[in-house]
Amino acid sequence: MDYEAAATRLSSPTVFTILRAAFSGASDDEAGTLAAAVRAPFWGGFWVAFALAFASLLLMKGFMMSLFRWPAEKCRQMCSLAATGESVKMALVVRKDLKMRNGKIAAQCAHAAVGVIEEILAFKSAGATSPQPALNPVSTAWVQWYDAWHASGSSKVALQCSDEAAMMALAKHARQVNLPHYVVRDAGRTQVAAGSKTVVAVGPGPRSLVDEVTKQLKLL
């Protein structure tokens, strides 16, 4: 036992005052003051401990949710791949008449891929957070194809078309067969005029559907 620490604790003003009041008698006001002096440190420590315990529970909950979310998502993606029944890919079709340099083409293809994926992920998020079925059959298929595409390596192919009319015909065909698609309209800061339609992304979707839309096109 640490006698020095015990002696120090007993000689503290609060403890000394309580002992003196107990042996010599104290008025009601003095007793109330002493009781408050004893309760204040206790409740202060209690609420600090409660806050720390609550924060620990929140952190543990977040950790457990993240621990189980990843395998659940991978399972969903693999189920989508199996349900699709064939390989899944995305086609990025570039207009050749604009004569864009390689760096510009790469940036425009990135815009197209990000644009179509952001649209699909918005559908996926809406379906995950809504208590009621929020997706129509087309949006549901897009999410399933995206999951399958993501699980199978995110296959992409770069193709070329002759002009804007050919590009918009591709977008129309993709819409008719319910494929995800996204047309990039350039801001016009470099090389091409503002509003120029530079690249269309077709898919991700089943290879047979994407090929139906793009089979006549040459590789970039």
pLDDT tens for each residue of 26-61:
555 555 565 565 555 555 566 767 777 777 776 666
Whole-model pTM: value is 0.65
Q: Find the DSSP H helices in the chain.
A: 3-10, 13-24, 28-84, 102-129, 137-151, 164-176, 207-214
Q: Determine how β-strand 156-161 pairs with β-strand 88-95.
A: parallel
Count of CA atoms in the C-beta half-sphere (13 A) of 92: 22
Does 209 have pLDDT greater than 90?
Answer: yes
Cα–Cα nearest to 78, from 9, 173, 150: 150
- What domains sit in the chain, N to C, each tagged with a CATH number? 3-62 (no CATH), 85-219 (3.40.1490.10)
Q: Is 152 exposed, middle or buried (0-12, 13-18, 19+ CB in 10 A)?
A: middle
For residue 206, whether the previous peptide bond is cis, meaning omega lies within 30 degrees of 0, is: no
Q: Please give the DSSP secondary-structure letter assigned to residue 189.
A: S
Reported as a single tens digit per residue, the pLDDT across 139-157 is 889 999 999 999 889 999 9
